[in-house]
């Protein structure tokens, strides 16, 4: 009478093969998850930057006058007058990593969310004589990364300009 079954060598070989397959699948899934988090980080910074730049440039295009910075000067604060008298002056500035807009005597409103911090906000007045006001905007956004994880590291600099209509 013969017994059927696995030898110790066969069993060890099967376990090793299964272990290698599981390790490879685990490494692949970990890489996919890191990639997904990195893509979300990039998307968050890009979305915030585009949104802030659109708000600033749209306000500039609809403004009637640039109060500061003066012609040929640069500043971290932009002050413009709008067609709505109650919103004058409309001021954009950077405070503690937050870009703010203040319209008239109202309180300031934060333009970026708590996941990103802003730095290097610069407004450069490029207005030529006899032309409507033109402002060049430079802005850097950084994804907050309190844990120090590589997939949350991302910095993007945004550039834009707008001319009064």
129 lies in which domain range? 8-163
Q: Does 2 map to a domain?
A: no
The yes-or-no verdict on residue 63 having pLDDT over 90 is yes
Q: What is the mean pLDDT of residues 138-159?
A: 88
Q: Does 3 map to a domain?
A: no
State how far the Cα of 149 lies from the Cα of 119, in Å rounded to an integer: 21
Q: What is the mean pLDDT of residues 69-75?
A: 93
pLDDT of residue 104: 92
Q: Rounded to 5 degrees, what angle do the CA atoms 90, 94, 98 make? A: 110
3-state class percentages of the chain: helix first, strand second, coil last, to nearest 5: 35, 35, 30
Q: How many domains does the chain have?
A: 1
Q: Does 156 map to a domain?
A: yes
Can you tell me which residue has the tokens 């007058």? 81
Q: State pTM to two decimals.
A: 0.80
State how far the Cα of 49 lies from the Cα of 158, in Å rounded to an integer: 7
Q: Does 1 map to a domain?
A: no
- CB atoms closer than 10 angstroms to residue 116: 23
Q: Does 61 map to a domain?
A: yes
pLDDT of residue 2: 65
State how far the Cα of 109 lies from the Cα of 99, in Å rounded to an integer: 8
pLDDT of residue 1: 61
Q: What is the mean pLDDT of residues 49-68?
A: 95
Long-range contacts of 38-41 (CB under 8 A, 24+ apart): 38/151, 38/154, 41/143, 41/151, 41/152, 41/153, 41/154
Q: How far apart are the first and last CA of the chain?
A: 99
pLDDT of residue 93: 96
pLDDT of residue 38: 87
The yes-or-no verdict on residue 150 having pLDDT over 90 is no
Q: What is the mean pLDDT of residues 143-152?
A: 81
pLDDT tens track for 85-137: 999 999 999 999 999 999 999 999 999 999 999 998 999 999 888 888 999 99
pLDDT band for 24, please (50, 70, 90 cuts).
Answer: very high
Which region among 29-43, 70-84, 110-124 has the lowest average model confidence (pLDDT)? 29-43
pLDDT of residue 155: 92
């Amino acid at each position: 009478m013969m017994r059927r079954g696995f030898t110790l060598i066969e069993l060890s070989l099967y376990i090793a093969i299964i272990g290698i397959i599981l390790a490879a699948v685990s490494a692949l899934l970990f890489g996919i998850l890191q990639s997904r988090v990195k893509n979300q980080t990039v998307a968050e910074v890009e979305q915030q930057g585009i949104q802030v730049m659109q708000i600033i440039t749209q306000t500039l295009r609809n403004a009637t006058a640039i109060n500061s910075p003066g012609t040929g000067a640069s500043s971290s604060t932009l002050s413009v007058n709008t067609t709505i008298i109650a919103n004058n002056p409309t001021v954009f500035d950077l405070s503690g990593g937050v870009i703010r807009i203040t319209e008239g005597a109202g309180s300031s409103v934060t333009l970026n969310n708590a996941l990103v911090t802003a730095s290097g906000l610069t407004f450069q007045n490029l207005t030529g004589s006899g032309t409507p006001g033109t402002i060049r905007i430079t802005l850097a956004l950084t994804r907050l990364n309190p844990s120090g994880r590589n997939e949350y590291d991302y910095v993007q600099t945004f550039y834009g300009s707008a001319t009064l209509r």
